[in-house]
Amino acid sequence: MQAAEIDIVSVTKKYGSATAVDGISLKIPAGAYCCLLGPSGCGKSSTLRMIAGHETISDGDIRLGGKVVTDFPPARRSTAMMFQSYALFPHMDLIDNVAFSLKMKGVEKGERRARALEMLKLMQMEAYATRRPAQLSGGQQQRVALARALITDPEALLLDEPLSALDPFLKIRMRAELKRLQKSLGITFVHVTHSQDEAMALADLIVVMNDGRIEQAAAPREVFERPATAFVARFMGDHNVVSGRVTGHGDGLVTFEVPGGQTLVASGRAMEAGRAVDVGIRTDRVRIGAAESQGFGFTAIVSNIEYQGASVKLSVTGAGIEDFTVITDDAAFFASPVIVGEAIPLSWAAGDASILGALDS
């Protein structure tokens, strides 16, 4: 199969006067596994449907494999879409379900059935070829839906929350299957999800969306290690976001004051005093113990402790700092446990607190 690059150029989607997608631009390389990630209502499904041609584009253009397809109907785009509900026909057996789009194209019966069987084989479902969808498990239905989408030989497969109907165990298994399938077919996958874990596990490119815009588009590790904005840091989880005002800078470090009056230090480029900043601090990089130098920690009051097996999660507050989380490994915690209500010193290394959004400059 051939893979297509997807180029979204200043695309806007309006429903009446409401803007669902607000002038986004994004290049998805051919053969990439791209996850559109974000909270409910951020515009991920609208973006996917515009790529598929199931939704008109209010402004801007979409190019697939270098060709402008903005006004093309779905069937002319070399894309295939797999829906959340799988949308299988209940009265047809699996072969007819999978062969359906070939029938629409006028492919002769013998050939379309042979190709459908081949697709079912690819998905290891040939033994069930004459069953109906209701006689299958959720995971099996998903494989059939995939076979049905792939039979048209698409250059890009578009998946809208493909794992959301599955139980947690199956979800993780099917997620591995999706990844394997994408690598073996080599075509571009665009997968809509609101799950950070799912996006981190699958994607080569994560696109974090918020309120119709793209907050960050980067490799999973980049998004996790260097969130571009406070929104991304909060949404990906595992980061504390502390807000304050800049009081000074020097040597790649910025000092800032939080509302409670204490001064902390973060890495970041020079910026003028008085500017409001958000600083990200990874929850797993904070340790219990006094800071070696001023500004790389604070005194916190423990408000909650959750045992999580391999780790322990502490919720704490400090002067001007609310909702701060510390993830510590279980051995370190139980070697010298703390209790709710206790005042404890917290600290982190110089590179572990960074000004969000100023990391690339």
Question: Which residues bind to ligand ATP, rule: CB under 6 A?
Answer: 15, 18, 20, 38, 40-46, 194
Residue of 239, 210, 211 whose CA lies nearest to 353: 239
By beta-carbon proximity to ligand ATP, the closer residue of 38 and 244 is: 38
- Beta-carbon contacts of residue 222 (< 8 Å; ≥ 6 apart): none
Tell the smallest beta-carbon distance from residue 43 to ligand ATP (Å): 4
By beta-carbon proximity to ligand ATP, the closer residue of 47 and 188 is: 47
By beta-carbon proximity to ligand ATP, the closer residue of 18 and 127 is: 18
By beta-carbon proximity to ligand ATP, the closer residue of 52 and 253 is: 52
Residue of 228, 216, 93 whose CA lies nearest to 148: 93
By beta-carbon proximity to ligand ATP, the closer residue of 38 and 227 is: 38
- Beta-carbon contacts of residue 165 (< 8 Å; ≥ 6 apart): 84, 85, 86, 138, 142
By beta-carbon proximity to ligand ATP, the closer residue of 46 and 347 is: 46
Tell the smallest beta-carbon distance from residue 185 to ligand ATP (Å): 25
Tell the smallest beta-carbon distance from residue 25 to ligand ATP (Å): 17
Tokens linked to 269: 């480029």
Tell the smallest beta-carbon distance from residue 167 to ligand ATP (Å): 20
Strands (E), the chain: 6-15, 18-28, 33-37, 59-64, 67-68, 79-82, 156-160, 188-193, 205-210, 213-218, 239-250, 253-257, 263-267, 276-282, 287-288, 297-307, 311-318, 321-329, 343-347, 353-355
In angstroms, the CA 44 to CA 61 distance is 17
In angstroms, the CA 304 to CA 301 distance is 9
Tell the smallest beta-carbon distance from residue 21 to ligand ATP (Å): 7
Asked if residues 352 and 285 have their Cβ atoms less than 8 Å apart, the reply is yes
Tell the smallest beta-carbon distance from residue 12 to ligand ATP (Å): 12
